[in-house]
Structure 1
Amino acid sequence: MNNEILLKTEYVTLGQLLKIASVIDSGGQAKWFLQENEVWINGEQDNRRGRKLYAGDKVSIPSVGTFLMCAKQDR
């Protein structure tokens, strides 16, 4: 599954992305999810829920999908 995430602000955190993409139900689940699952950001593994994601960043979560951050003006 490949999805574009339209950013309404300059950035979102990885924890916010997980909630926006309906990977988790609440922000409190982000820490647990990131401890149990691999997440790749621009080809590098990362598990920091506070990691800032900007337009152009690509987030891949095996068995969930790939998400591309897009700015409003990119569309």
Structure 2
Amino acid sequence: MQEEVKINTDYITLGQFVKLLNILESGGMVKSYLQDVGVIVNGELEHRRGRKLYTNDVVEIEDVGSYVVKKED
């Protein structure tokens, strides 16, 4: 099951999103993780931390979980 992560803007960058999840300790660790391992965004491997995520985009992080972006009402 996917966990919903609410944002209050039209989009969020992948780097900001991973940092928001609070699974890595720092922005530098997020950058390294995305470059080295990457995550799955909407079924495709992604390494760019500047990738924009919009409502209903699905982010899968290996050994962590699956998350869907939702806009706050």
Asked if these proteins are the same fold (TM beyond 0.5), I'd say yes
Amino acid at match of 1:22: N
User: What TM-score do the two structures reach when normalised by structure 2?
Assistant: 0.88
Provide the aligned length of Structure 1 versus Structure 2.
73
CA RMSD of aligned residues (A): 1.4
* Residue deviations 1:1-54 (CA, integer Å, cap 9, x gap): 732110111111111111110121222222211123231100011110010100
Instruction: Flag structure 2 segments of 5+ consecutive residues without an equivalent.
Output: none
Contact 2:56-2:69 at 8 Å conserved across structures:
yes
| Consecutive aligned runs of 4 or more in structure 1 exceeding 4 Å deviation | none
User: What TM-score do the two structures reach when normalised by structure 1?
Assistant: 0.86
Instruction: Flag structure 1 segments of 5+ consecutive residues without an equivalent.
Output: none
- C-alpha separation between the residues in 2 aligned to 1:36 and 1:23? 16
